[in-house]
Structure 1
Amino acid sequence: MPGLRRNSPDRHGRPTGPRGTRTTAFAAAAIALPLFAASAPAAQANTEEPPQVWLVELAPGVGASVLEAAAHGLDYEIRHDFERVWNGVSVETDPATARRLERLDLVEEVWSDVLFMGPARVGDRPEEAQPELAQAIQTTRAADAHDRGVTGEGVKVGIIDTGIDYTHPDLGGCFGPDCRVAYGTDFVGDEFDSDDPEHTEPVPDEDPADCGGHGTHVAGIVGADGNVTGVAPDVEFGAYKVFGCDGSTSSEVIMQALEAALDDGMDVVNLSLGQSFQWPGYPTAEAAGRLTEEGVTVVASMGNDGETGIYSGSAPAVGSDVIAVASTDNPQQRMDAAFVPALDRRIGYRSINDTPEPEPGAATDPLVWFGRACPDDASEGDVAGKAALIVRGTCTFKEKYARAVAEGATSVVIYNDRSGPFGGTGIEDGPVPALALTDADGADLHDLATIGKAPVLEFTGETVLVDLPRGGLASSFTAYGPAPDLSFKPDVTAPGGGIWSTVPVADGSYESLSGTSMSSPHVAGAAALLLDDDPKLTPRDVRTRLANSAKPVAWGENPDLGELEAAHRQGTGVIDVIDALDAEACLYPTGVNTGDGTGPRTFELQLTSRDSEIRSYELTHRSTIATTGDTRDPGFTAAEPKVTFEPKHLNLYPGQKATVTVTVEPSADLPLGSVFGGRITARPDSGESLTAAYSGYQGDYLAIPVLEHPEFPRLAVIVGQDPETHEFDYRDIKEGETFSLTEGPDLAALVYLGHQVSAMEVSAENADTGEIIEWEPEQYLQRSPGPDDAMGIHLEDLAAARPSALEPGQWTFHVKVLKALGDQANPAHWEQWESPAFTLTD
C-alpha cells in the first residue's frame, strides 16, 4: 500500500516538528510503502519508486537461499541475513518488488525499516565531576552490593548506542582485548544518518569511538569506575555504534548490532533507544527476544512519550522477553552554579542552547525585571545595558530572547513557571548568554529585582545540586504501557531523571542527562551484578528477581493521597539490588495481562522456593492508580478492585513449587475504557516479600474508536515538504477543484489513528464505473501520537504503484482499519471511511 507519508520520529519514535496545518505521521511497523520516499514534483507523477531497505520475515524453517530460489527473477538485493537473531533478511528493492516478495508463501511479513532518531549531541561541560551518580545507586542499593564485593566482575555488557569514548579514564582509557571496552565495532561511520539521503549508506569500521556522547553517558551509568561510580563498576564492555555523530539509524543496523553482541558473547545488552507506539512483533523486538533465548539478558528503555498518554511504549522494549525500564527522577540534579551575593547562596542554572556559555569568574550585569516578554507585552523594566529577568510561559524562548536583546539586554535569565529546572531550545546564534533557572530561585530574584536591589549572578565554574520536584516519583516523560496487544509493560523502574554520568572527554567528561535512556542502563548494570553473584541465572531469572524485589512508586500527580503509580507505568516498581541478590524464592510471571471485559479476571502465579528452610507465605494485594478516558490525556481514579487468592496462605518447602490462583474483580465504579492494575505480594513470615503486577482493560478493547476525529479523515492538497524534517504541508481543497496526476495539484487523504491498528486497507472507487482498485494492506500500525497528528495517503504514490489504473473521472478514497486484536474475518472489528468524490482530469 504505497502512499502513506510519515514524518521523521525522535529517538523514541515520536514525530517532531510543528503541529496544526502540517500533519505529522509515524514510522509504521509493516510493509507497504516507502517510509521517506522523496515526493514527486507537482507537474509529474512519480512512476518509478526508488529502492529502499525492507525487512523480510521468513516462515519457520525457511532460509535466505530458499527465498532466493523462490524469488528468482525479482529485482532485489539481499543486504544481510539475520538467521541468528531473527528469521529473515534485509533487502534493498523498490516498494513494488517488496509487495511481490510479501505475496510469496514462504514470506511471513515484509516490514518497513523504520528510523530510530539519535539523541542531541552532548554539549560542552567543562566542570569537574562529582560522585552524584551515587544518588541513583544508593536508591537502588547497588552501592550496598559493591560493599559486598559484587561489582559485575567477569560480566560482559553490550551497549548498542552512539559508541563509547573508551579514552575516558572512568571507562578504562583504551579499546581492545586488555581494556574495559574490549569488544565492539562501528556499524555506520560518523557521517551516517538514515534520514539524510546523502548519508544513508553505512560506512562501517572497527572503531566504536563515540562522537555523539549519549552512549558514553549510558556506559558510565552501567559501569563507570573513577570520578563517578556506575552500577557495576567492574563489567567489561562491548561498544556497538549504530548512530553517526548526528541523526538517525535504522532497524537493520540495530539488528546487526544485536547479532554482533550475541557473537561476542555479551551477557547483558542495553538498548537506550526505541520506536514509540510500537507493537511487540516488530523485528527489533523479536530479534531482542531471540537473544534472550540464547541466554543474553536484554534491557531496553520504555520510551519518553509519557506526556502522550497510554499505549506509548517503544520497541524493542515492548518485546515479550525484553526487560522494559521506566524512569523515576533522582532526588537532585547537578547543574552549573552561580553565586548570588544578595541571597548569599549558590543557585543552579542551565545555558539555553546556541547562546554563549558564561565564563567562570564572570558575572552578569544587574538583573532588571522585564516581565513575560512576549511580542505583544509591554516592557516592565529598562534592560538596556542590564540583564533581563523573564518568566517562562505563553510564547517561545526565541521570542522572549529577541525582545530582550532588541532592548539592549546584555544577558537573559528566564525562570520556570512550574516546579523544578528546565532546558530550552529555539534560539539561533544568540549574541548574549541565556540562562534557565528553577521557579523557586527565579521567584527569589524577582522579589529582589522588583524592590530595586538588582541582584547579579557570579559564575563560579563549579556545580550545585538542585532539588527535583518529582524526586522518587515517575519522571514526567516516562512512557505508559500496556503494549497494543495489552501485554504488560513496563517491567521495572530505575532512576533516569537527572543522572550525572560520563560523556566524551572532548565534551567535558561529565554531564547530567534525563530519559529512560538513563534508567535502562541502571537495570542493565543491576543485571550484571546478579550475574556476577550467580552466573547460572537465565534472562528470565534475572528479570524475575529484579521485578519481584522492586519497591512501589507513589503516584506523582498527587503523592499526598498515598496512591501508587499506575502498574502500566512503573511495572513492579524501582529495583532493589540487595533484595534481588538475597531472594530465596520467586513469583512468576512478574507482569500479567488480564485482558479486557467487565467481569472478574482469573490468572495463576507460581511461587517457587530456592530456600533451605520452610517458609509460610501470605498473599496480599494493593491496587495502583487507574488511567481513565482519553488515551492521550487520561484521567485517573483509585477505584479498588476485589481480589481473592486460592490459597491465600501456604507453606513452601525447600525447592517446592506452588500455584496460586488470583481473581481480580474490577470495581463497579471503574469507568469503561480504563486501564487498571495492581501489585500481588507474597509476604513470608521472615525475609523479603516477592511482588508481581498486573494490568487490564475495563470494557471492550475493540470498542476504542480509531477514525473518530473532528478534523480527520479528510481530503487535502499537498503544498510542499520540509527537506530537513520530511513534514508535508497541506491546504484545504477549494470548491470545484480538480486534480491531475501529471499537472497537479497533488491530492492526499489525511487519516488520524486514534489507536494502534492491526491492519489498514486503502482502495479507490470509480464513481462512474464502480471499478474498485485495491492496494496492498499494511499491518500493525502505530497510533497517531498527539491530538492533531495525522498521516497523509498521497494519490500520486498510489498511482505509481498501479500505473494507468486511475483513469480520468470521479473517484472516492476508501480507508479501512482493523482494530487492535480484531478478527480480520469479523466486519464489526473494522472501521472505515469513504471520502467525498474528487475529479481526476487525466
Structure 2
Amino acid sequence: MVAYLQLLPLLGVLFAGGVHSKTSNVGDTADANNTVGSWDYVPGAYIIEYEQGHENEASLFSTLHTHGLPVSKRMSLSYSLFKGASVQLDAVSLDPQAASTKIASLAPVKNVWPVMRYQNLELGKFASTSGVKRNVGDFSQHVSRAAADSDTGYAPHVLTQVDKLHAEGYTGKGIRVGVIDSGVDYKHPVLGGCFGEGCIVAYGMDLIGPDFNGTNTPVPGPYPYPDCLGHGTHVSGIIAAQKNPLGFIGAAYGATLGMYKALDCGGGSSNDVLMAAFNQAYEDGSDVISISIGIYSGWKEDPLAVTVSRIVDAGVPVVIANGNQGPAVFSSASPGDGAGVMNVASIDNTETPFLGTEAFTSLNSPSGNLTSFAWLPGTPAFPNITLPLWAVTPNTTTDGSSSACSPLSSSAPTDLSDKIVLVQLTGCDDPTIAANLAKNNATYIIYYSSDDDLDDVYSVSTAPSTLGAGMVPLQQATIWLDLLSKGTDVYAKMVDPQSANPGATYFPNNATGGIVSDFSSWGPTWEADVNPHIATPGASILSTYPLNMGAYYVDSGTSMATPLMASIYALIMQARSIKDPKALLSMVSSTAKQTKYRDSYQSILYNDLAPVAQQGAGLAQAYDAIHATTTLSVSSISLNDTDHFVNSTYFTIKNGAKQAVTYSIGHLPSRSRDTFKAGVSSPSQSSNSSSSAATLTFSDTKVTVPAGGSAKITVEVALPQGLTKANLPVYSGYITLNGTNGESLVLPYLGVFGSLSSLQGIDSSNGYIYHSTGHYWQAAPNNDIWTLPYPSVGSQPPNSAAIDFPALYILVTTGVPLIRADIIPLGNTPANTTKVLGVDTAGSFPGFPVQWVFSNIYQIPFNGVTQEGIILPEGNYALSLRALKIFGDANNSDDYYTVQTQSFNIKYNSTAA
C-alpha cells in the first residue's frame, strides 16, 4: 500500500471538477497555429497499480466496495510491465479526502493516478493542401509489396539516406512496428487493403470504441478502424505505404504494421487509454513503437513518460514526437520526455509537394511526351480536353498586370475559345477575372496564385460562360510562363476530375529545405536532460489518408518526423539485428548530420550550427548508422545548469573494425539561445541567440584504438563567456571524432547557463482572487466579501453563472515540479489549522497540490469546500501559493517560491442542515 501523503501531489487535482486548466505557451509571441495539447481530469476516475502479489482485479473491486468505495471498471490494465486497472467511482460526490486516502491505504494498491482527459494530442501542424475526395485509380483491392526502385529521388528518404538502404535491399522486412494513434484505414490499397495475418497492417486493436469522449468508459474492439481523424493513416503511410502513382513509398515498406487506436475523432484520449495502448503494443511483440502524440510537459516524471520508459528499460525502443511548440526553448512534449526514448524533431522537406488532381502537359505538340502536374478543380471543373496554354501578361492587359481585373488590351487575341488561359489571381476576385476574359471568348481558365504559399491555392469560381476552370501554384505557372516566353508551345491535357487520378507535383524548397522546422519543439527538459535526440523530415510530407477523406494528404509536424525515425530503426534492426534501445540511440545519434541555425523571426540563416536543444544530434543518416563500425558509450551529454555544472565527464570509443583506427577528437560549438527575453518571465519564441560557446579540453585530441578495442576520453568543460544568466541561455555543441577509416561521428552536449532553481514558476502579479461572474484578468479588491450558498461536504461549485464565487487565477510561466495553494485563515477566523511547511493552513484550495506543471493557466472557483472535503467556517482568508523550485526538496519550505493573494471574506446565506 502507499502512504496518502506520498500520493497527494498526484491526487491533488483529481476532484477539482471546477478546474479550468490549459497547457499553453504563455510566451510573448505565441504561434496560434501550433498544435497544443490541453487536459483536464475525469472526476472520480483513477488508475490503480497493484502491489506485487495482489494482482486480482475482482479482489480489488471487492476490497474497494468493502471500504465504502464502490466502483465500475473503465479498463483492465493487466500487462507484464504494469498490472492494474482504471476505475470510476460510482458516486463522484464522495468526500475526496476520504476516497483518495482509502484507495491509497488499501493493501492491494501500489500506485494511484488520476485519470486525465487530453485533447488535441496529435502532433501535426495540419495540411498545406487539402485532402479532398479523389478517385484512387485502378488499384486492385490488395497490393503486393512494392519494389525498391520506386523511391528514387524521394526527398525525405534522400535526406536521411533511406533511399541508399532501399537500394541495398533493406525494407524493414521481418520487423514489427507498433503505432499508437487514431487508427488506420487499412482498406486503403496503398496500405494493403486488409487487416490481419499476411496483411501490411497485421495486428493492433481499437482501445476506445466509437463513442469515446475521454470521460466515459472505453469500449475496446478488435479492429483499429475507422480512422475518423486521418492522423493515424497518414503516419502509417510514412512507414509502410506501397508503390503508388504519387511517387512516394514507406520508409520501411517491408515492415509489418500494428495500429492501436487510442485517439478519438478530435484527437482526444485519456492517460489510462494511452497507458493501455503503450503496453499492448509491447505485449504484442512490437520491435519498435512509434508515438506521434503528446501533451506539453518537459518532465520525465510525467506518468505517460514513466510508462514508455518502462518499455524502453524492458528492451523495446520507443520513438516519440517532440512536439510542435517551437521555437520556444523548454517546449517539449510528454511522453517524449521519458528517459531513454528517442524523441524526434522536424526538419523542413527540401521538396514541397502540391496535392491535387492529375493532368498533363506536352511541349510543341498535343501528342508529345506527357508530363504530369497537379491542379485543383474549380467551378465548373475541366472536362476531358487538350488545348494550348495562352498566358495573360502585362503587355496584353490594359492595366499592365498579369491579372485580368480590367479588360484585356488590343494586343490580346479577340478569340480565346481554343486556348486555356493562364492568368494570375490577384487584385480582384476570380469571377471578375473570368468575366473580363469572357469578353475575348475565353471559356477555359487556369488561375495561379500571386505568391508561393500553397495554402493560397483553392477551388475557384468563374463566370456563367466558363466551361472549365482550375488553379495551380505560382511555382507551376512560373515554369509554363518561362517556356511560353521562349516561344515554346505548351499544351495542357486536362482530365475530368471524376475520372482522373490524384496527382502530386514536387517543388524545390530552396528557402528552408534541410533546416529545422520553425514549429519543432525545443528542449531541454526542465531538469536539463538533452532533448530532442534526433531530427528527420516532418514538414510538408505527402502520405496516405482515409479513402473517404481523400486518400492522400500533405501534413506537417513532428508527428510526420517520428514514423520516419521509427522506420529507420526498423531498417537498422533488419540490417544489423540490433534491437537494444540504448545501442540504437547511440548509433543514430553519433552518425547524424548537423544543420545550420535559422532564426525565423529575423529571417537570418547563420553559419553557426543549430543548437542541440533544437536539432538534437542532427538529421538522421540511416546508411551511415548501419555501416558505422565505431560506437560511443553514450549518445549525448548533459552539463546541467550552472548550479549543478558538470565540468568534467568522459565517454568511451569502441572500435568494431577489423583494423586499428586513429581518431582525431575536436569540438564544434553550436549557437546558444536565450530562454527569456529581458524582463519577460515566460519562455519566448523570439529570444536572442549568440555564438558564445563553452570551451572543451580533451585528455587526448588523437587516439589510436586497436581492432575490437576501446579508449576512454576525458572532457573538461569551461562555461561560456558573455551570456546573461537572467535570460537562462542554453548552450551546446558537438564533440567530433574523425577516424582514419573514413567515419565521422559526433557526441552532442548541452548545458544551461544560469540557475533552473531560481525560476519563480508562478507569475507574482498573476496569482490572485477574482469574481467568477466578472473578468478573470481583474483581481478583486483586498478584503472583498462573497456570500455563498452553504455547501455540502465534498461538493464542488455548481456550474451556474448566476452565483458569484471567489475564484483563483494562477499564471504558471515555466516548469514547476509542484504547486501548493494553501488556505490561510486571517484574524479571528475560527478555522481548524494544520501546520504545513511552517504555515498554519485550513486546507488546500481545490485542485491542489499539482505536480509536474508546464506553463499552465488555472481558473478555479471556490464554494468554501477545501480539497480535503472540509467546509470552511465563515471568515477572512488568503491563499499561500507555493511553487517548488526545480531540483528542490518538497519537504523544505525554503525550496519554494511563495506568493500570497489578497484577502477574501466568505459568508454563507444559509446554514448547515
Structure 1 length as normaliser, TM-score? Answer: 0.79
Q: Give yes or no for the alignment of 1:231 onto 2:290.
A: no
Aligned with residue 505 of structure 2, among 464, 483, 490: 464
Structure-2 change in CA distance of 1:25 and 1:763 (3 Å): farther
Task: Tell me the alpha carbon deviations over residues 624-664 of structure 1, each in whole angstroms, 9 at most, x when there is no partner.
Answer: 11111412332211102211112322221222232222122
Contact 1:232 1:528 in 2 (8 A): yes
The residue that corresponds to 1:780 in the other structure is: 851
Q: Give yes or no for the alignment of 1:618 onto 2:618.
A: no
Offset of residue 472 of structure 1 = 0.6
- Structure 1: segments with no counterpart, 5+ residues: 29-34, 38-49, 371-379, 389-409, 426-432, 446-456, 721-728
Q: Give yes or no for the alignment of 1:531 onto 2:573.
A: yes
Aligned pairs, number: 744
Secondary structure, aligned partner of 2:717: strand
Contact 2:21 2:859 in 1 (8 A): no
Contact 2:693 2:720 in 1 (8 A): yes
2:101 maps to a residue whose letter is: R
The residue that corresponds to 1:284 in the other structure is: 304
The residue that corresponds to 1:740 in the other structure is: 787
Spell out the pairing of 1:576-615 with structure 2 (5 A cutoff): 576-597=621-642, 601-615=647-661
The residue that corresponds to 2:349 in the other structure is: 330
The residue that corresponds to 1:398 in the other structure is: none
Alignment partners' CA distance in 2, 1:814 and 1:544: 46
Offset of residue 230 of structure 1 = 1.2
Q: Give yes or no for the alignment of 1:520 onto 2:562.
A: yes
Alignment partners' CA distance in 2, 1:753 and 1:140: 39
Structure-2 change in CA distance of 1:73 and 1:151 (3 Å): same
Task: Tell me the alpha carbon deviations over residues 446-474 of structure 1, each in whole angstroms, 9 at most, x when there is no partner.
Answer: xxxxxxxxxxx999864432343321101
The residue that corresponds to 2:823 in the other structure is: 764
Alignment partners' CA distance in 2, 1:718 and 1:443: 57
Alignment partners' CA distance in 2, 1:542 and 1:719: 55
Aligned with residue 574 of structure 1, among 613, 616, 619: 619
Structure-2 change in CA distance of 1:815 and 1:385 (3 Å): same
Alignment partners' CA distance in 2, 1:252 and 1:204: 13
Task: Tell me the alpha carbon deviations over residues 350-374 of structure 1, each in whole angstroms, 9 at most, x when there is no partner.
Answer: 89xxxx888456999996779xxxx
Contact 1:422 1:437 in 2 (8 A): no
Alignment partners' CA distance in 1, 2:382 and 2:121: 31
Alignment partners' CA distance in 2, 1:58 and 1:92: 16
Secondary structure, aligned partner of 2:329: coil
Alignment partners' CA distance in 1, 2:430 and 2:715: 69
Offset of residue 322 of structure 1 = 1.0
Structure-2 change in CA distance of 1:87 and 1:585 (3 Å): farther
Structure-2 change in CA distance of 1:190 and 1:803 (3 Å): closer
The residue that corresponds to 1:316 in the other structure is: 335
Task: Tell me the alpha carbon deviations over residues 369-394 of structure 1, each in whole angstroms, 9 at most, x when there is no partner.
Answer: 79xxxxxxxxx977594269xxxxxx
Secondary structure, aligned partner of 1:487: coil
1:244 maps to a residue whose letter is: D
The residue that corresponds to 1:715 in the other structure is: 769
Alignment partners' CA distance in 2, 1:605 and 1:476: 32
Structure-2 change in CA distance of 1:312 and 1:368 (3 Å): farther
Alignment partners' CA distance in 1, 2:559 and 2:469: 27
Offset of residue 192 of structure 1 = 2.4
Offset of residue 671 of structure 1 = 2.0
1:206 maps to a residue whose letter is: P
Offset of residue 549 of structure 1 = 0.9
Contact 1:169 1:226 in 2 (8 A): no
The residue that corresponds to 2:525 in the other structure is: 483
Aligned with residue 202 of structure 1, among 209, 218, 221: 218
Secondary structure, aligned partner of 1:799: coil
Q: Give yes or no for the alignment of 1:99 onto 2:97.
A: no
1:805 maps to a residue whose letter is: I
Structure-2 change in CA distance of 1:804 and 1:177 (3 Å): closer
Contact 1:604 1:661 in 2 (8 A): yes
Alignment partners' CA distance in 1, 2:519 and 2:428: 38
Aligned with residue 753 of structure 2, among 678, 681, 698: 698
Q: Give yes or no for the alignment of 1:632 onto 2:684.
A: yes
Alignment partners' CA distance in 2, 1:170 and 1:459: 25
The residue that corresponds to 2:273 in the other structure is: 253
Spell out the pairing of 1:666-685 with structure 2 (5 A cutoff): 666-672=719-725, 673-685=728-740
Offset of residue 74 of structure 1 = 4.6
Alignment partners' CA distance in 1, 2:21 and 2:871: 30
Spell out the pairing of 1:53-64 with structure 2 (5 A cutoff): 54-56=46-48
Structure-2 change in CA distance of 1:541 and 1:674 (3 Å): same
Secondary structure, aligned partner of 1:581: helix
Task: Tell me the alpha carbon deviations over residues 88-120 of structure 1, each in whole angstroms, 9 at most, x when there is no partner.
Answer: 543323454663257539645534424152557
Offset of residue 769 of structure 1 = 2.7
Offset of residue 588 of structure 1 = 2.6
Structure-2 change in CA distance of 1:4 and 1:19 (3 Å): farther
2:208 maps to a residue whose letter is: V
Q: Output the aligned Cα RMSD.
A: 4.2
Aligned with residue 820 of structure 1, among 886, 900, 905: 886
Alignment partners' CA distance in 1, 2:745 and 2:684: 33
Contact 2:77 2:276 in 1 (8 A): no
Spell out the pairing of 1:126-205 with structure 2 (5 A cutoff): 126=134, 134-194=154-214, 200-205=216-221
Offset of residue 301 of structure 1 = 0.5
Contact 1:274 1:314 in 2 (8 A): yes
Contact 1:332 1:465 in 2 (8 A): yes
- Structure 2: segments with no counterpart, 5+ residues: 1-11, 138-149, 365-370, 393-401, 407-425, 435-444, 459-467, 481-491, 498-502, 677-682, 790-801, 832-840, 909-913
Secondary structure, aligned partner of 1:256: helix
Aligned with residue 839 of structure 1, among 901, 905, 910: 905
Task: Tell me the alpha carbon deviations over residues 541-600 of structure 1, each in whole angstroms, 9 at most, x when there is no partner.
Answer: 211111111100110226643111110111101111110110102113112211111766
Contact 1:115 1:250 in 2 (8 A): yes
Structure-2 change in CA distance of 1:6 and 1:360 (3 Å): farther
1:812 maps to a residue whose letter is: A
Contact 1:676 1:698 in 2 (8 A): yes
Structure-2 change in CA distance of 1:185 and 1:238 (3 Å): same
Alignment partners' CA distance in 2, 1:709 and 1:361: 65
Secondary structure, aligned partner of 1:730: coil
Alignment partners' CA distance in 2, 1:77 and 1:15: 39
Moved more, 115-124 or 284-293: 115-124
Alignment partners' CA distance in 1, 2:695 and 2:710: 26
Same amino acid, percent of matched pairs: 23
The residue that corresponds to 1:51 in the other structure is: 44
The residue that corresponds to 2:316 in the other structure is: 296
1:835 maps to a residue whose letter is: T
Secondary structure, aligned partner of 2:642: coil
Offset of residue 683 of structure 1 = 1.4
Contact 2:37 2:295 in 1 (8 A): no
Alignment partners' CA distance in 1, 2:169 and 2:38: 45
Task: Tell me the alpha carbon deviations over residues 419-438 of structure 1, each in whole angstroms, 9 at most, x when there is no partner.
Answer: 8544799xxxxxxx999998
Secondary structure, aligned partner of 2:524: coil
Structure-2 change in CA distance of 1:205 and 1:4 (3 Å): closer
Secondary structure, aligned partner of 2:670: strand
Aligned with residue 652 of structure 1, among 681, 705, 712: 705
Offset of residue 781 of structure 1 = 3.0
Secondary structure, aligned partner of 1:259: helix
The residue that corresponds to 1:562 in the other structure is: 607
2:219 maps to a residue whose letter is: V
Alignment partners' CA distance in 1, 2:737 and 2:30: 48
The residue that corresponds to 1:41 in the other structure is: none
2:100 maps to a residue whose letter is: R
Contact 1:4 1:793 in 2 (8 A): no
The residue that corresponds to 1:123 in the other structure is: 131
